């Protein structure tokens, strides 16, 4: 499995690198939603741990399995031996002596364990961070009403409007004052995230990042995908609107970005 995973990661890295380089040039030619879908498809591909190839040959001859081992020696240093699966004992050793050799874990199994540990640690780190965030905002939630069935809360622990919650999504507003017109635009933005299930989109990206934790290009892909998700959301809100609405929407986005020092918004 680890070899197939590495092949998938390497082949996807070429696509990611090309997409990141071309990203600045395709902004004006393609809609943000196209890139939003592209990153989604690529994330799904990264989560499929095998390579698509031609059908296997009808006849296969398996090579004898070999295991490298270290056998203790009474008169000198340990002796390295190779054991074939077709033999009853390691070469160079008798059946009586074969019980004394110390097996070494095959390299592929060792790499698989290292990969699995890294993937589990990164994914658990993200889940714990999300859990701690939910614990931090819970004491300061003040109900403000709802928007299209979505509960709206005011919370001093957040710096920008955001949506959180997989199964019970809610909109969180910071303590900063927003005009009724600005609130309408914020709610429209967050409702697009809710309608497209973007929290699950972000979870999918997180899972792909965890599976390929050893690949730095996947980290860059996730960061760019989150940006393009926001651009796609902005495009959905302003599509078909007049120039005045677009200007007011842009000013609202700039206002919320200044409040958080230019950092992004939505969370899990």
In tens, the pLDDT along 6-47 reads 999 999 999 999 999 988 777 655 578 889 999 999 999 999
Residue 262 pLDDT:
43
Output b/e per residue, 98-120; b: 16+ Cβ within 10 A: beebeeeeeeeeebeeebeeebe
Angle at 193 between CA 189 and CA 195, to 5 degrees: 110
What is the structure's pLDDT at 129? 95
Return the pLDDT at 97.
Answer: 52
Q: Could you give the C-alpha distances from 74 to 51, 62, 78, in angstroms and in order? A: 48, 36, 8
Going from the C-alpha of 52 to that of each of 8, 37, 49, 86, 253, the distances in angstroms are 9, 21, 10, 32, 43
Coil, strand or helix at 219: helix
**Which residues, given as ranges, of the chain have pLDDT below 50?**
54, 57, 68, 86-89, 95, 262-264
pTM: predicted TM-score of the whole model, two decimal places = 0.76
pLDDT for 254: 84
The pLDDT value given to residue 176: 80
Smallest Cα–Cα separation from 80: which of 66, 95, 62? Answer: 66
pLDDT for position 91: 53
How confident is the model at residue 177, as a pLDDT? 81
Domain segments of the chain as ranges:
2-52+109-259, 66-104
Quote the pLDDT of residue 54.
45
pLDDT score at 256: 80
| CA gyration radius, the chain | 27
Token pair of 66 as six digits = 């070999």
Strands (E), 110-228: 142-147, 150-154, 162-164, 170-173
Instruction: Work out the end-to-end distance of the chain between its first and last CA atoms, rounded to an integer number of angstroms.
Output: 30
**pLDDT at position 178:** 84
The whole-number pLDDT of residue 7 equals 92
The pLDDT score that the predictor gives to residue 102 is 55
Q: 102 vs 39, 87, 248, CA distance in Å? A: 47, 17, 72
Sign of CA dihedral 9, 15, 21, 24: negative
Give the pLDDT of residue 100. Answer: 53
């Amino acid at each position: 499995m680890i070899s197939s995973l590495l092949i998938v990661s390497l082949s996807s890295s070429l696509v990611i690198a090309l997409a990141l380089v071309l990203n600045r040039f395709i902004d004006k030619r393609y809609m943000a939603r196209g890139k939003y879908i592209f990153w989604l498809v690529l994330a799904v591909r990264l989560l499929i741990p095998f390579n698509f190839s031609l059908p296997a040959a009808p006849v296969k001859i398996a090579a004898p399995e070999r295991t490298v081992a270290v056998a203790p020696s009474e008169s000198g240093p340990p002796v390295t031996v190779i054991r074939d699966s077709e033999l009853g004992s390691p070469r160079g050793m008798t059946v009586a002596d074969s019980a004394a050799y110390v097996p070494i874990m095959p390299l592929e199994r060792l790499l698989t364990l290292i990969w699995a540990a890294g993937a589990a640690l990164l994914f658990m780190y993200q889940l714990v961070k999300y859990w701690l965030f939910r614990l931090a905002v819970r004491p300061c939630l003040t109900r403000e009403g709802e928007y299209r069935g979505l509960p709206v809360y005011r919370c001093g622990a957040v710096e920008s409007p955001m949506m959180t919650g997989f199964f019970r999504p809610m909109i969180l507003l910071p303590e900063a004052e927003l005009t009724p017109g600005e609130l309408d635009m914020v709610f429209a933005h967050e409702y697009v995230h809710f309608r497209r299930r973007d929290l699950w989109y972000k979870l999918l990206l997180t899972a792909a990042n965890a599976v390929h934790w050893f690949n730095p290009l996947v980290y860059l892909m996730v960061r760019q995908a989150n940006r393009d998700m926001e651009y796609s959301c902005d495009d959905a809100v302003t599509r078909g609107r007049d120039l005045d609405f677009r200007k007011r929407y842009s000013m609202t986005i700039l206002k919320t970005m200044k409040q958080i020092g230019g950092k992004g918004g939505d969370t899990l």
